[in-house]
Amino acid sequence: MADLCLVPRGLCRMRATLLDSLGNVADVQNNSWTSAHLVSVGIAPDIEAGDEGTLKNGCGATEASFADNDSIKRYNITVVDARDEPGLRAMMLGLDLIMDSADVIGTADVDQTDDDFEPAKVALEFWMKLYDSDAQDQTRPWLYINFPGTYSWVPQDIELGVDFSSPGFAGKSFKNELWGDGPYGDIAWNPAGQLGPIRNIAQVADE
């Protein structure tokens, strides 16, 4: 078995799928959003430091010490979008849509302290190009990254001014065994509910 040592470059696609409170795909209309306009996605492990201890004698010399393993509790995810996509923002943040006939033209904040408010949970999938030497690999051109469950999404700071504004969202991953291999049938691979990120070399991108 040979390793496929390809080089990822370019964040080309993200698909967000709305989940219910348990982690199933939400049984509602318009429960997914695909974007080709992302600027970046940050993935940072939330690490719980292992316990450490040292025993010193009366002269200050170390007699014994230990350091337990660090562990990953979850991943913190930051998504930065090049465009203002109201449908994506509403899904990620649990907001109300503002409509003009059939067009989505904005979002309205909701009272998150209300008893009826349910924070959004979404599954996230990303596709990146895979390069071999000076071109995209012709056999396995895409890197597929999947978070079966994410939650606790909040908006990031945004600056309004003469320069372009890039809206962003920040959330956290959770283990979601109910995602299975997803509802779309275009990724023949089961992530088995891992905390993420899960990486897989995919032959077909969602384009």
Please write the tens of the pLDDT for every residue from 110-140.
877 787 878 899 999 999 888 888 988 888 8
Asked whether residue 200 carries a pLDDT value surpassing 70, the answer given is: no
Query: In the prediction, which pLDDT does 60 show?
Result: 96
Query: In the prediction, which pLDDT does 2 show?
Result: 52
Asked whether residue 170 carries a pLDDT value surpassing 60, the answer given is: yes
Tell me the pTM.
0.84
Cα 203 from Cα 143, distance rounded (Å): 8
Query: In the prediction, which pLDDT does 154 show?
Result: 92
The label of the residue with tokens 């999404």 reads: 153
Could you give phi then psi for residue 161, rounded to 5 degrees? -175, -155
Cα 159 from Cα 189, distance rounded (Å): 40
Cα 43 from Cα 14, distance rounded (Å): 14
Query: In the prediction, which pLDDT does 136 show?
Result: 87
Give the pLDDT confidence of 23-37 residue by residue, as tens digits.
999 999 889 999 999
